[in-house]
Structure 1
Amino acid sequence: MRTDRLSREYDVEFRWYVFPLHPETPEEGAELTDLLRIAPEQLGPMQARVREVAAAEGLPLAERSRTYNSRRAQELGKWAESLGKGDAWRQAVYRAFFVEGCNIAHVEELARLAAEVGLSGAEAKAVLAEGRFAAAVDADWQRAEEYGITAVPSHLCEGIRLVGFAKYQDFQRLIGRG
C-alpha cells in the first residue's frame, strides 16, 4: 500500500481516525444502488474502477451489492488500538467487509473478528454493550466534520488534505518530500 511504503521510506507515522461514512445505514445493511441513488446498471462499472485501483495497491476487493453500518466496528477499532492491535483489526475488518461481504454491524461477527486478531470475543461484546469507546468515535467524527472530511480515504498533513486514491507522488508532495 502507498501509505506503508511512505512509512518505510520516510519514517512517517500515521494516526488513524474514523469517519461517519453513511451512519444512517441500518444494521441489516442497504443496497448500494439505493444508498448511492444510482441505477443498477451503473454499479458494475463503478465497482470495476474501484477494483482496478485496489488491485494496483495489491488489495483484494470483491464485487458487492450491499453495504453495512460500520459504527460498532469503529468502536472496536479504538479498543483494538488501545491494546496494540489496531492494524490487525483494520485488516481483519477490511477483509471481512470488502472481500467476504460480512455484515460488520453484527455483534457476533465483530466478536468473531476480535478473536481472529487475538482479542477476546466476549470482551468485544462487553466493550460495545458498555459503549466504552463510543466517545472516542464521536470525537473522531467531530474532528472529521471540523476538517471538512466528506470522503474516504482522506489524508491530512499540516492542514493540507489529500482525498481519494492518490498517486504515490501526491503523498510525497503532501509530506513535503516530492
Structure 2
Amino acid sequence: MSVSVDVWSDFVCPFCFLVSTNLKRLAETHDIQLTWHAFELRPFGSPPPDAQYRQFIAEKTPAMVAMAKTQYGVEINQGPFGIDSRWAHRAAKWAEQQGQGDAYAQAVLSAYWLQAQDISQPEVLAACAEAVGLDASNINTILAEPIYDAAVEEDIALAQQLRLSGVPASVFAKRYLVVGAQPYEVFADVLQQANEQPASN
C-alpha cells in the first residue's frame, strides 16, 4: 500500500536538501507518494539579508558542509546565498501538474546545493524541468501564471494551519510528522509505523 509523504520545504534550505536525499533513498525501496509543498524561509518580497545575518550563516556553513559529507555522503556546492525562491516554487507547482513534481523538486535542490546554480533565474529552472523530461521553452509564461503563485500561497497557508514553524517538515500518511533533517532510520521507522497502522475509516 502506497503511503503519502507530504514535505514542506524551501529549495534554499540546506536541511531540506539533506532530507531529500533520505526521501529519495526511501522511495527506491518503498511504495511512497511524495508531494512537495512550498515554504519560504524568507517570505516573498523580503529585503536582502543584512551583514550580521550573512556572517551568522557563514559561521554555520562549515559545520553543515561537514555533516552533509559525513552523514549523507554529499559534497555541498551551494548556489548564491540570499536569493528569492518564489519562482522555483511556482515552477514546482507547474511540474507537479505535469506529473513530475518529485523529480523536478529533486532536480532544483541538486542544482542549487550540488551545482551552485542560481535557481532564481528562469533559464536555470527551465534546465531543471527539461532534465526531467518537461518542455519548459515557455518558462517565463509559466512563471507568470497566477494559478501557480496561488498554489504556492495555498501551501504556505496550509503550513500555518498545521502550525509548521520550520522546515523540513515531513508528514507521513497525513498523521505522522517528522521535523528536521532526521537520520534515514527515523524516516524508515515512521513509514513502517504508517504501514502497520492504516487510517481508520
TM-score range, shorter chain: 0.7 to 0.9
Name the residue aligned to 2:166: 151
Instruction: Give percent identity, aligned residues only.
Output: 27
In the alignment, the residues of structure 1 paired with residue 99 and residue 138 of structure 2 have an alpha-carbon distance, to the nearest angstrom, of 15
How far did residue 65 of structure 1 move? Answer: 6.4
Larger displacement relative to structure 2 (13-22 or 39-48): 39-48
TM-score (norm 2): 0.69
1:152-178 alpha-carbon deviations (Å, 9 max, x no partner): 321113433111222333224423169
Distance 1:26 1:51, change over 3 A: farther
Determine if contact 1:26/1:68 at 8 Å carries over to the other structure.
no
Name the residue aligned to 1:84: 99
In the alignment, the residues of structure 2 paired with residue 82 and residue 168 of structure 1 have an alpha-carbon distance, to the nearest angstrom, of 28
2:119 pairs, out of 104, 128, 140, with 104
Q: How many residues align?
A: 173
1:17 pairs, out of 30, 37, 49, with 37
In the alignment, the residues of structure 2 paired with residue 66 and residue 142 of structure 1 have an alpha-carbon distance, to the nearest angstrom, of 25
2:56 pairs, out of 38, 46, 51, with 38
Distance 1:154 1:37, change over 3 A: farther
RMSD between superposed Cα atoms in Å: 3.0
Higher share in strand: 2
1:107-155 alpha-carbon deviations (Å, 9 max, x no partner): 2322333333332333221011233311111111111111222333211
Name the residue aligned to 1:169: 185
Determine if contact 2:85/2:119 at 8 Å carries over to the other structure.
yes
1:136 aligns with 2:151: yes
Secondary structure, counterpart of 2:36 in structure 1: coil
Q: Which segments of 5 or more consecutive residues in structure 1 lack a partner in the other structure?
A: none
Q: Which segments of 5 or more consecutive residues in structure 2 lack a partner in the other structure?
A: 1-20, 197-201
Q: Larger RCO: Structure 1 or Structure 2 (Cα < 8 Å, ≥ 6 residues apart)? A: 2
Secondary structure, counterpart of 2:171 in structure 1: strand
In the alignment, the residues of structure 2 paired with residue 49 and residue 144 of structure 1 have an alpha-carbon distance, to the nearest angstrom, of 27
